[in-house]
Amino acid sequence: MAGRRVNVNVGVLGHIDSGKTALARALSTTASTAAFDKQPQSRERGITLDLGFSCFSVPLPAHLRPAPGAGPEPEPEPRLQVTLVDCPGHASLIRTIIGGAQIIDLMMLVIDVTKGMQTQSAECLVIGQIACQKLVVVLNKTDLLPEGKKQAAIDRMTKKMQKTLESTKFRGAPVIPVAAKPGGPDAPETEAPQGIPELIELLTSQISIPTRDPSGPFLMSVDHCFSIKGQGTVMTGTILSGSVSLGDSVEIPALKVVRKVKSMQMFHTPVSSAVQGDRLGICVTQFDPKLLERGLVCAPESLHTVHAALISVEKIPYFRGPLQTKAKFHITVGHETVMGRVMFFGPAPDSLDREPVLDSFDFSREYLFQEQYLCPGPDPAAAHAAEADEKAGQVSAGRCPRQQWALVEFEKPVTCPRLCLVIGSRLDADIHANTCRLAFHGVLLHGLEDRNYAESALPTLRVYKLKQKHGVVERVLDDHSVIGRSLFKKETNIQLFVGLRVQLSTGELGVIDSAFGQSGKFKVHVPGGLSPESKKILTSALKKRGRAGRGEAAKPEEAERPEPAQPVGLSLSFKRYVFDAHKRMVQSP
């Protein structure tokens, strides 16, 4: 009786032609229906177009066995099954690469040792940092290195890769040289691959069984779908969360159908149940397999279809250029990629340092609108400027909040699990430009399911813009009122601002009382009265500036006007909530 099998998924990622498929083939003893570029189009184009699955198994290493006596005696010869997820390398297939990266526990980054890091190697490394916990670098094609200099070249490339990993969470990850297909495509099949036993040894030592959580809602990422005459439709895939058993009902959200599980197999072996991390084929009552080339299957009603979402967002450092509000990105949500428009916002200035929350969105808080994603300022001087700005409630790029969010509005609705991974990228960027197209990543904190979310949900999203206007005191009317100017345009309807508070640069608080004349001037009431210093500044020597000199009578508001020795400023600041249909001006209490 074959021992219990523990399955782990190892991704094979890297730049196109680095030898991923050759490596998967060299490692595997069992291949699934669509491994090793079997599809006709793959053969035609000589590249991998879709995820390929194959596996090998080794005795379960000691470090993965339960401690003696810590639970039921392990079955005879428990085995570690390593499922290889062979990903495409071509730049245009990055959506598939991202989908593949979300079902793996460890990533092999395959590097052509004669070329080193290439554009998609870098993008795969970025995806790995977002979606994986462990990484092994495989330097492939060592047979191409000139005999006498092989070890030196391998050592040099190993050092280079370790330096590249230095600034990532994979610092210190192992680097191993192999030749998956020595002599290349024309070499005879008999030419043995080099370094494979050592690689298997390394993978086995690096692998830790991720905690499988059978309790979550059942969710499986389907990568292939085909019919079996007289039996039904088979979906092969990897379980992302929860578990499934014979007889369960499962939903195919993309087709809005529910089906019963008739039978299940793991690599050609019938099973009656399976849990998160397992790779298997599920046979359900017939539906047309062409309708579901790839997608999700889940516990009924466990996914939601959203038209927009609130995500926690982090910029990918290698992405060049700002992340602008209102910009459009390719948004990968779970396993789907659609176009979406983003609006960035951050915490109110008094909660910049609040601990990031990655499992929910707090609608009770206020947030500050941002024209763009804020990055840590380049120079310490910015911090001082930021302090001053902060008092005014504006967070400048110098002080980077610990968490930022984005409202993402999708061009078409997306079906996804709660709290799933979100990646924003510029996939329309020139794939030959050596730049990282992955722009940001995050977690989907709250999905807006209502098509009319703009009316039903957004008004509850308290994102505000801070508005500030500055003018000056033109003159004093009496101890409790002054005339201000240059704060409003002539055509502004000042009535809208009556009752709002203004701050005098001499410290007093004023309230806008009414318009004054037709030229945008206004009267300010100073409830606490002007301080003696303010009065002194404001009522400096009168300057004869009437019209007497020209024989004309001065108009009442143009009577003698004291020009203050130094201008006393008037500043008006208020919030406007981005989604407030009434565009009210609100001043914090």
| Subset of residues 38 to 67 that bind ligand GTP, contact rule: CB under 6 A | 47-48
Nearer to ligand GTP, 143 or 278 (CB): 143
Nearer to ligand GTP, 46 or 230 (CB): 46
Cβ count near 571 (within 10 Å): 14
- Residue from the set 15, 20, 212, 399 that interacts with Mg ion by CB under 5 A: 20
Catalogue the E-assigned strands of 453-551. Answer: 463-478, 481-485, 501-504, 509-516, 521-525
| Cα 349 off chain centre by | 23
The CB-of-20 to Mg ion minimum distance in angstroms stands at 5
Interaction between residue 16 and ligand GTP (CB under 6 A): yes
Count the residues of the shown chain that bind Mg ion, applying the rule CB under 5 A: 3
The CB-of-141 to ligand GTP minimum distance in angstroms stands at 4
Interaction between residue 143 and ligand GTP (CB under 6 A): yes
The CB-of-195 to ligand GTP minimum distance in angstroms stands at 9
Interaction between residue 556 and ligand GTP (CB under 6 A): no
Angle among Cα 296, 299, 305 to the nearest 5 degrees reads 55
> Sign (positive/negative) of CA torsion 99, 135, 5, 88?
positive
Angle among Cα 48, 51, 52 to the nearest 5 degrees reads 80
- Which does residue 18 bind out of Mg ion, ligand GTP, none, counting CB within 5 to 8 angstroms by kind? ligand GTP
Nearer to Mg ion, 50 or 278 (CB): 50
Lay out the site mask for ligand GTP across 149-188 (x = CB under 6 A, - = otherwise). Answer: ------------------------------xxxxxxx---
Nearer to ligand GTP, 43 or 384 (CB): 43
How many angstroms separate the CA atoms of 95 and 115, rounded? Answer: 24
- Which does residue 437 bind out of ligand GTP, Mg ion, none, counting CB within 5 to 8 angstroms by kind? none
Among the listed ranges 18-26, 356-364, 424-432, 471-479, the one in contact with Mg ion (CB under 5 A) is: 18-26
Lay out the site mask for ligand GTP across 85-124 (x = CB under 6 A, - = otherwise). Answer: ---xxx----------------------------------
Interaction between residue 431 and ligand GTP (CB under 6 A): no
- Residue from the set 7, 9, 18, 21 that interacts with Mg ion by CB under 5 A: 21
Contacts for 392-399: CB closer than 8 Å, 24+ residues apart:
392/466, 392/468, 392/573, 393/348, 393/349, 393/368, 393/466, 393/573, 394/349, 394/368, 394/466, 394/468, 395/346, 395/349, 395/352, 395/368, 395/370, 399/352
Lay out the site mask for ligand GTP across 289-318 (x = CB under 6 A, - = otherwise). Answer: ------------------------------
User: In 3-state terms, what secondary structure has residue 205?
Assistant: helix
For residues 41 and 92, is the Cβ–Cβ distance under 8 A?
no
- Residue from the set 10, 13, 22, 261 that interacts with ligand GTP by CB under 6 A: 22
How many angstroms separate the CA atoms of 272 and 269, rounded? Answer: 10
| Three-state secondary structure of 523-550 | EEECCCCCCHHHHHHHCCCCECCCCHHH
The CB-of-33 to ligand GTP minimum distance in angstroms stands at 18
The CB-of-169 to ligand GTP minimum distance in angstroms stands at 24
* First-residue to last-residue Cα distance in the chain: 74
- Residue from the set 100, 109, 125, 141 that interacts with ligand GTP by CB under 6 A: 141
- Which does residue 399 bind out of ligand GTP, Mg ion, none, counting CB within 5 to 8 angstroms by kind? none
How many angstroms separate the CA atoms of 105 and 20, rounded? Answer: 17
Nearer to Mg ion, 18 or 337 (CB): 18
How many angstroms separate the CA atoms of 74 and 564, rounded? Answer: 90
The CB-of-199 to ligand GTP minimum distance in angstroms stands at 12
| Of 31, 33, 30, residue with least CA distance to 227 | 33
The CB-of-417 to ligand GTP minimum distance in angstroms stands at 28
- Structure tokens, 68: 């003696």
The phi, psi pair for 323, rounded to 5°, reads -100, 105
Nearer to Mg ion, 187 or 548 (CB): 187
For residues 83 and 10, is the Cβ–Cβ distance under 8 A?
yes
- Which does residue 184 bind out of Mg ion, ligand GTP, none, counting CB within 5 to 8 angstroms by kind? ligand GTP
Burial of 202 (0-12, 13-18, 19+ CB in 10 A): middle
The CB-of-56 to ligand GTP minimum distance in angstroms stands at 17
Nearer to Mg ion, 46 or 146 (CB): 46
Interaction between residue 20 and ligand GTP (CB under 6 A): yes
User: In 3-state terms, what secondary structure has residue 345?
Assistant: strand
Lay out the site mask for Mg ion across 40-79 (x = CB under 5 A, - = otherwise). Answer: --------x-------------------------------
Nearer to Mg ion, 21 or 142 (CB): 21
DSSP secondary structure letter of residue 392: T
Q: What contacts 67, CB < 8 A, 6 or more positions away?
A: none
Nearer to Mg ion, 18 or 534 (CB): 18
Nearer to Mg ion, 140 or 403 (CB): 140
Q: What contacts 1, CB < 8 A, 6 or more positions away?
A: 75, 76
For residues 532 and 551, is the Cβ–Cβ distance under 8 A?
no
Nearer to Mg ion, 96 or 403 (CB): 96
Nearer to ligand GTP, 21 or 54 (CB): 21
The CB-of-85 to ligand GTP minimum distance in angstroms stands at 12
Give buried/exposed letters for 302-336 (b at 16+ CB in 10 A, else e). bbbebbbbbbbbebbeebeebbebebebbbbbbbb
Q: Which residues bind Mg ion (CB under 5 A)?
A: 20-21, 48
Q: Which residues bind ligand GTP (CB under 6 A)?
A: 14, 16-22, 47-48, 88-90, 140-141, 143-144, 179-185
